[in-house]
Structure formats: C-alpha cells, structure tokens
A and B are shown apart, each in its own frame.
Chain A
Amino acid sequence: MLILGLETSTLRSSVALADRDRVLASASLGVPRRHGEFVGPAIRFCLEQCGLAADRVTGVAVGLGPGLFTGLRVGIATAQAFAAARHLPVVGLSGLDVLAFQERYTDRLICAVIDARRGELFWAFYRAAPGGVQREGGLQLGTIDTLVAELIATGEECLVLGDGALAHRELLEDAEVVVAGPDVAWPDAADLAELSVPRFLREQTQQPLDLQPIYLRAADARIGWETRGRMHGGRQQPTPPTDRS
C-alpha cells in the first residue's frame, strides 16, 4: 500500500506519501497562492526521495475543504486526474477533520477553525476518539462572534486550533478558550494520509469522479470585468440578477 496525500485547501500546501505503517515522505509550503506551482514538483520530490515511481501509488487521499476555493481545486483536480489515470481509489476528507486530528490526544472539546476570508470562519467540533478524533455536528460557516457564542454555550473546556483561531486569538482567549499555536494551524497532508490509511484498508473509498469539494459558500457571482486586464477588457460592472447557490 502506498497512499499519496494532497492538502491544498488553506494557504499552506502539502503533499505526503504514506504506507500502512507510517508517513514515508512529506513536503509543505507556507507561501500563499503557490498551490498550483508547488503540488506537482512536491509529488515528484516525495516519490523520488522514496525511490518509487508513480505507478507504485495505490490510492490518493485529498483534502476537500472548506477553505480557499482556488487552492482546494488544485488538490482535487490533481488528485482526480492522477487517480483516474491509474484507476486508483480515492479518499476525500474535510480539511477541518485533518486539522483536528493534530490534537487527537487532548481531553478537551476540540474546535478546528479555518479562515474563510471576508470576515468569516469555517469550523467544526471534535472529540478525541480511538484512532483519531470524532466530529460532533456539522461543518459551519459564520463570524467570530457566532463562534465565540457557540464555544461559551458548550460549557466545556475547549481547545481551538487553526489559522482562523490564530487570527482571533485575543477574542478567544478572553472567552477562556485555549488557542493552539501556529505549529498546528493548518491541515497537513501527512496527517491526511495517515487518517486515510484505515479507510483504504477497509475499502471505504470512492471513485475519482465522486470527490466533491466542500465550498460551504455560494459562488461569488461577480463577473469582475475590471480585474481581467486587457484580455477581457471592459470596465463595466454588470449587476448579476441573482446569487447562485
């Protein structure tokens, strides 16, 4: 078994190779907006460091978001094409699940929080469980005020992690919540690969086409003529009739 993991749904991009026992190689980059350039060479790097060819990979795991739309599409498009080209099974996991996995040894209620931009956050609650963490409830999109209210309403000691938490560290600490540091602020492909191994072993896998990104937010319907430069020219900003979902 050789699993290729890709996680590109936050500003950090990462790639890992794992077998059933351990992570063999990983590479990550914390420079924003470089997902597209990084992932391909990183996959090749991990394979080469292990002395393995691409045809040895037996499954592909990928982070589905929520997070940066453009980033998560890089991971999913690469994963789908790679897997389809070799008829491999895939496992897609939420980046929030992967993020929370890093705190799997705590007794506290875990809250994974990813920056959703535009003054909003993505989050979900987890509890440590045998083999990792168990999500409690759904994935959510909302403001920091809503999140703080939810954390207080739990009446429990909470551990909050993720770049969305770091961005609001003071507000969260005022609410007497423990905020984990930047070392565990982003979902990582090594954790993703490790988390996916039991699913591959149990054959709880999908076909590449089944992978669906988790956007949690409707597509921004702005046409954005003004940002298209000379190629798209016009400067008019039409008002879209309705917002698509």
Chain B
Amino acid sequence: MLVLGVETSCDETAIGIVEDRFALRANVVASQAQLHGPYGGVVPEVAARAHLDLMLPTIDRALVEAGAHLSDIDAIAVTAGPGLAGALLVGVSAAKGLALARDVPLVGVNHLRAHVEAAQLEVGALDPPLAALVVSGGHTSIVVMDADGSFRQLGATIDDAAGEAFDKIARFLGLGYPGGPEIDRLSQGGNPRAYHFPRAMLHDGTYDLSLSGLKTAVIRELRRLEAVGEEPVLADVAASFQEAIVDVQAIKTLRAVADEGLEQVVLAGGVAANRRLRARMQADCDERGLRLIVPSIPLCTDNGAMVAASGANLLAAGHLDDLSLAVDPNLPLAVATEPPG
C-alpha cells in the first residue's frame, strides 16, 4: 500500500511516498528558504504563493523518485495543521484534488505527530510509551506518545519557537536565514560559557518553555557591549545563546521523561539538526540509560514522508477523512486526527 503525503504547513513544499507504513519510497522537499531570506522569517502570503507554484513539480519529482505513477497511489495524507492557514490550504486542496481524481482515501494529519512518527521510517514500528521533543521554526513542544499510540502535549513554548529564536538572533548578528544552521556553525569555535544568558521557567513546575526573554537578553548584552566600546566575540555569543536554548529544552524534556516514567525519547523537527542539541540529548539519555531516537536530518526537517507515515498509521487504525477536511492553524495534538476507539 502506497501513501502519498503532502506537507505545506510552513515554508517547505514537501511530498513523500511511503509503502506499507514503514518503507520510505520518496522524500522530496522544495524549500522556499531563499524567498523568505530577505525578511528573516516566513512570510505567509509569499509561502502560500510558492506552495501553489511548487506543488505539481514536487509531486512529479516524488513519483519519479519512488518509481511510481499516481495511479499506483492507494491513499493521500495531508497536513491539516498546525501551521499557516493559507499555506496549509494549498496542500489540503491539492490533496483533495488528487484523492477525488484517483478515487482514493484522504486522511488529514497533525504536523507535530507526524514529526514523531517519521522515526518509524528508520527504526521500524515505534514502541510507545515514549516522550518526544518536537523542535522547529514553528514549534517547540514536549509530547508523549502513550502505549495505545495516542498523543498528548505536556508542554510547549509560550512565546518563541526555538527555530524562530535562532532566526531572530541570527538576523541580529547579521547571519543568514535560516538562523539555526548559521548559529550552529558559528558556535563550533565559541565558548558556551563566555556569556551567561537566562534559562527561563526552569523551576516553574510545568513543561512549558519561554525563549523570548533569552533572545532579549542576548540583544541587550550585545547593545551593552557596543555602548562600552567592547567588541563581542560572535562565536562566543552564538555558543552561549545556543547553550542556553539547548539547556532549557534538554532539562524540561528529561524532566518530563522522568516524571512520566518513560524510557524512550524521540528528538524531532528541524532544530533536531542542531549538533549541540543532539549531543546534549544523547549525553543526557546515555547517563540515564534512556533510548534516544533521532531521525536523520531529511526526516527531521519538514517533509512529506512523515505525513505519509502518520497518515498510513491512521488509515491502518481505520481512520479517514472526508472531502470536507478543514485546515486548522492551531490543530491540537489530541483531537481530529485521533483514530476512533
């Protein structure tokens, strides 16, 4: 059974094809990063226009990669949320057009959940319960996949997503967009203890995070140095900022794992490509004897294969959507795409 997954929730037009839930057949991403670079962030109308331009070519590339034709596709999965409404709507409309024309089932997928389920394309069936840190330009969420395969959110950023904080600081430092890889690269030669930046909400008893104050603290420090005529060591600033972000995420995630009595952690989302975050999560998990699952980078960043995988799981559980499937920019993790029963 071949499922084609459509992902347009943010600034990647992505199509994936998955066979029998676990086998990756194609994973094609048309990135719009160049279009949004001048703004230092994703512009919704620019993204929606680009999704429409890129949709058919990306579908074609994925079919070529899979060595398949649309007539071989057995179901269409599509991200219904969370994400940018106008961007999501292009993907959902295209998915409905495909499903109607080929007379195959349509299933709406939760983007966050798909990020976690992407791991099944590399490690096989996930064996919940497990915790996951989903961290990207749009999300910083700590979620739990329970033994029955259902998901719940334990905590999330109350202001900036991690990727967004990276973008904004990168922009302030005059680095490129997206900011995450730039900060990662610059941090390699820097001292993560050179500057002390705040770790907010560490002891508030929740699993929520706040990254906006950290961003402000970095900017304030740079302005202070400028005022006293001191040249900041950018590598040190980047490394110290990155260390603070990584610290907060690792501490909150590991606390959730301990409190929930879990033994496995999935690290997913585009920011999972950050080398310091991967290393820190690996070290913390090793220390506690936990299993850390980190999908390879093409399955961490926004992609269509994860949508196809998540959709295949839902279909296997007997769930499907009708053609009135709506997009929901704030789609909650635990409803709408939950299998019945």
Chain A positions near chain B (C-beta within 8 angstroms): 36-41, 43-44, 53-55, 57, 69-70, 73-86, 208-209, 213, 215, 219-225, 228-236, 238, 240-242, 244
Chain A residues within an 8 Å CB radius of B90: 73, 77
Contacting pair A84 B70 (CB below 8 A): yes
Q: Is the CB of A234 within 8 A of B82?
A: no
B residues 282-341 near A (Cβ < 8 Å) are: 322-327, 329-330
A221 touches B46 (CB 8 A): yes
Give CA–CA (A101, B159) in the complex, Å. Answer: 50
- In Å, the complex CA distance between A215 and B46 comes to 12
Whole-angstrom CA separation of A235 from B48 in the bound complex: 22
Given the complex of chains A and B, what is the CA–CA distance between A233 and B158 in angstroms? 7
In this assembly, does B85 line the interface, its C-beta being within 8 Å of a C-beta of chain A? yes
Residues of B in contact, count (CB < 8 Å): 57
**Restricting to B32-46, which residues have a CB under 8 Å from any CB of A?**
38-46
Closest beta carbon of chain B to A16's beta carbon, Å:
15
**CA–CA, A107 and B209, complex, Å:** 67
B56 CB to closest chain A CB (Å) equals: 5
Q: A81-B98, A82-B98, A85-B70 are in contact. Are A219 and B323 (CB under 8 A)?
A: no
Residues of chain B within 8 A of A84, CB atoms compared: 56, 59, 70, 98
Q: Which residue of A lies closest to B212 (CB)?
A: A234
Cross-interface CB contact of B103 among A39, A53, A70, A231, cutoff 8 Å: A53
Contact for B93 among A73, A233, A241, CB less than 8 A: A73
Question: Closest approach, in angstroms, between the C-beta of A6 and any C-beta of chain B?
Answer: 9
Query: A53 to chain B: which residues have CB within 8 Å?
Result: 103
**Quick check: which of B123-131, B160-168, B237-245, B259-267 contacts chain A, the rest being far away?**
B160-168
Give residues 72-129 of B contacting A (CB, 8 Å).
Answer: 82-86, 89-103
Residues of chain B with a CB closer than 8 A to A224's CB:
44
> Does A39 lie within 8 Å of B45, measured CB to CB?
no
The smallest beta-carbon distance between B123 and chain A, in angstroms, is 27
| Cβ–Cβ contact B97 & A77, under 8 A | yes
Of A79, A215, A231, the residue contacting B49 (CB under 8 A) is A215
A225 to B212, CA, bound (A): 13
Pick the most buried of A75, A84, A222: most chain B CB atoms within 10 A of its CB. Answer: A84
Other-chain contact of A223, B41, B86, B159 (Cβ < 8 Å): B41
B325 → A minimal CB distance (Å): 8
Q: List 27 A-B contacts (CB under 8 A).
A: A37-B326, A41-B324, A54-B100, A69-B48, A73-B52, A76-B52, A77-B89, A77-B91, A78-B93, A78-B97, A81-B95, A82-B97, A85-B98, A213-B52, A220-B43, A221-B39, A221-B45, A223-B39, A231-B82, A231-B161, A231-B330, A232-B138, A232-B164, A238-B40, A238-B168, A240-B43, A242-B38
For residue B232, which residues in chain A have a CB less than 8 angstroms away from its CB? none
Contact B323 A40 (CB under 8 A): yes
Residues of B that sit less than 8 Å from A by CB? 38-46, 48-49, 52, 55-57, 59, 70, 82-86, 89-103, 138-139, 156-161, 164, 168, 171, 212, 322-327, 329-330
Closest chain-B Cβ to A81's Cβ sits at a distance in Å of 3
- Least distance between B104 CB and chain A CB atoms (Å): 9
Main secondary structure of the interface of A (DSSP, over half): helix
Q: Are B100 and A40 in contact (CB under 8 A)?
A: yes
Decide if A55 touches B70 in the complex (CB within 8 Å).
Answer: no
Cβ of B93: which chain A residues have Cβ within 8 Å of it? 36, 39, 73-75, 77-78, 81
Whole-angstrom distance between the Cβ of A19 and the nearest chain B Cβ:
18
Q: Which of B48, B55, B56, B100 contacts A44 (CB 8 A)?
A: B100
| Known contacts A208-B56, A228-B84; is-contact A70 B164 (Cβ 8 Å) | no
* A80-B56, A228-B84, A230-B158 as given contacts; A44 in contact with B41, CB under 8 Å: no
**Contacting residues, chain A, for B212 (C-beta < 8 A):** 233-235
State in angstroms the CA–CA spacing of A224 and B324 once bound together: 27
Contact of A70 with B89 in the complex, beta carbons under 8 Å:
yes
Given contacts A54-B101, A234-B164, A236-B168, are A70 and B85 in contact (CB under 8 A)?
Answer: yes
User: Closest CB of chain B to A169's CB: distance in Å?
Assistant: 30
The answer to whether A244 and B46 touch across the interface, beta carbons within 8 angstroms, is yes
The 8 Å CB contact of B156, one of A43, A219, A230, A242, is: A230
Whether A40 contacts B40 in the complex (CB less than 8 A), given A54-B101, A234-B159, comes out as: no
Most buried by A among B84, B93, B171: B93
Nearest 6 A-B pairs (CB), nearest first? A81-B97, A40-B323, A85-B101, A77-B93, A82-B97, A40-B96
15 new A-B contacts at CB < 8 Å, known A84-B70, A230-B157, A241-B39: A36-B327, A54-B103, A73-B89, A75-B93, A78-B100, A80-B94, A86-B102, A219-B45, A221-B46, A223-B41, A232-B164, A233-B157, A234-B212, A240-B39, A242-B38
